[in-house]
Amino acid sequence: MTIDKEKCITCDVCNKLCPKEAVKYDCDNILIEREKCVLCGLCVPFCPLGALNIFINNEEKIILNQTKGLPN
Ligand code: SF4
Ligand code: SF4
């Protein structure tokens, strides 16, 4: 799970929607707590700047492309 800090505008969207409270947000900095993140991928397509990515075994996980929608 990576955040491109050059793109991130700390809008807080990923923090608000993460079901595991894995995003730590403090106004001008944001990070993913690896021990909490379950790599569900939900936050990735909602980032308005495309700043979030998940790579598993060097392959990008793109949840909406794989499921044609949000997970049940
Ligand atoms: S949704 Fe994207 S731009 Fe907004 S805080 Fe998260 S990583 Fe940054
Ligand atoms: S991948 Fe899932 S658990 Fe990890 S930060 Fe994003 S929404 Fe939270």
Domain ranges, residue 57: 2-67
Please tell me the number of Cα atoms within 13 Å of 40 on its side-chain side: 17
CA dist 33 and 3 (Å) reads 12
Answer yes or no: is the C-beta of 56 below 6 A from any ligand 2 atom.
Answer: no
Q: Which residues of 43-71 are buried (b: 16+ CB within 10 A; e: fewer)?
A: bbeebeeebbebeeeeeebebeeeeeeee
Question: pLDDT tens digits, residue range 32-59?
Answer: 999 999 999 999 999 999 999 998 888 8
Q: Is residue 72 part of a domain?
A: no
**pLDDT at position 68 over 80:** no
Ligand 2 pocket: which of 12, 33, 43, 60 to mutate (most atoms <8 Å of CB)? 43
Q: Is residue 42 part of a domain?
A: yes
Question: What is the CATH number for 23?
Answer: 3.30.70.20
Number of structural domains found in the chain: 1
Question: pLDDT tens digits, residue range 16-28?
Answer: 999 999 999 877 7
Look at residue 25 in the predicted model and tell me its pLDDT.
83
Ligand nearest the Cα of residue 39 is 2
